[in-house]
């Protein structure tokens, strides 16, 4: 296959009743494992470069890593900028070969969020790139509180920005390590009733697996972002690899031992989003 846009994987998901995983990457080891897992499950995958990833590795380098994997993959791969906070970040991502950008103006007043998102949508579409926006702030476990999405504002945001996908705040929380929460389904249904575009859940690691599957098959939620859950799997695998032989010091050998456990964990995540 090859590099594809976000719309190219989310529009079929919307029509066919499944969702696509947006997997948060931190480095070569996890992005390679995510593609291997997607190939094993025969599903598309969205590789995401979030703020912490970009602090560690520059966007032009990440763009080459993502496109290298996409060009050799047997399934569709989206190279996605996650939580771009400025026009310049989105422009650099587009220039670096990303096929999708997400502009996060969710902390801004509605009119400002709409205006800035619409300008980035225009820039992205001119380059043949998809754009995701966010309406309603998704908070952080142990940090900032969420501000739930208002359905009427969501309809206005979707209509006036032209985004290809819309991230919403419906009880989801970033960095949640357990799955004891759950999404506000009545709010989701109210948003769905007023909008037609694919919806996105950030902080998907905290959503119970059964609810992920039911919403993937029976709602307009077509993308779940998963980060914490797989970072934990990677960290556990690396800890075991280090502790198994304290005399080992070659990080390449240590990191190789994380691959199979991370592929297994990722395959479990991907299965939950398949259609009936």
Tokens 């050799």 label which residue? 72
**Candidates 82, 104, 150, 164; catalytic one:** 82
CA dihedral angle for residue 160, residue 46, residue 144, residue 176, rounded to 10 degrees:
140
Report which DSSP code applies to 19.
Answer: -
> CA 111, CA 98: separation in Å to the nearest integer?
27
**Burial class, 101, CB count within 10 angstroms (exposed 0-12 / middle 13-18 / buried 19+):** buried
Greatest pairwise CA separation for the chain in angstroms = 60
> CA 231, CA 219: separation in Å to the nearest integer?
27
Please provide residue 103's backbone torsions phi and psi, each rounded to the nearest 5 degrees: -100, 125
> CA 245, CA 261: separation in Å to the nearest integer?
17
Contact 109, 141 (CB under 8 A): no
Q: Is 82 a catalytic residue?
A: yes
> CA 42, CA 147: separation in Å to the nearest integer?
36
Where in the sequence numbering do the catalytic residues fall? 82
């Amino acid at each position: 296959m090859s590099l594809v846009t976000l719309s190219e994987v989310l529009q079929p998901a919307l029509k066919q009743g499944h969702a696509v995983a947006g997997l948060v990457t931190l480095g070569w080891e996890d992005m390679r494992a995510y593609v291997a897992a997607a190939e094993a499950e025969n599903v598309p995958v969205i590789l995401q470069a979030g703020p912490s990833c970009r602090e560690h590795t520059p966007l032009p380098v990440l763009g080459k890593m993502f496109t290298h994997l996409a060009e050799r993959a047997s399934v569709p791969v989206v190279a996605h900028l996650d939580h771009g906070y400025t026009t310049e970040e989105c422009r650099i991502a587009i220039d670096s070969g990303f096929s999708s950008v997400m502009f996060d103006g969710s902390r801004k007043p509605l009119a400002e969020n709409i205006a800035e998102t619409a300008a980035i949508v225009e820039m992205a579409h001119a380059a043949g790139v998809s754009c995701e926006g966010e309406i309603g702030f998704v908070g952080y476990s142990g940090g900032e509180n969420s501000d739930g999405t208002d359905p009427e504002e969501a309809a206005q945001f979707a209509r006036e920005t032209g985004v290809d996908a819309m991230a919403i705040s419906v009880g989801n929380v970033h960095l949640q390590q357990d799955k004891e929460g759950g999404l506000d389904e009545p709010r989701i249904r109210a948003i769905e009733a007023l909008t037609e575009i694919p919806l996105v859940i950030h902080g998907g690691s905290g959503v119970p697996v059964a609810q992920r599957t039911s919403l993937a098959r029976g709602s307009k939620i077509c993308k779940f972002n998963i980060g914490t859950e797989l970072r934990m799997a990677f960290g556990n695998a690396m800890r075991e690899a280090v502790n198994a032989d304290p005399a080992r010091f070659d990080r390449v050998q240590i990191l190789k031992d994380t691959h199979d456990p991370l592929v297994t964990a990722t395959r479990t995540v991907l299965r939950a989003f398949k259609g009936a």
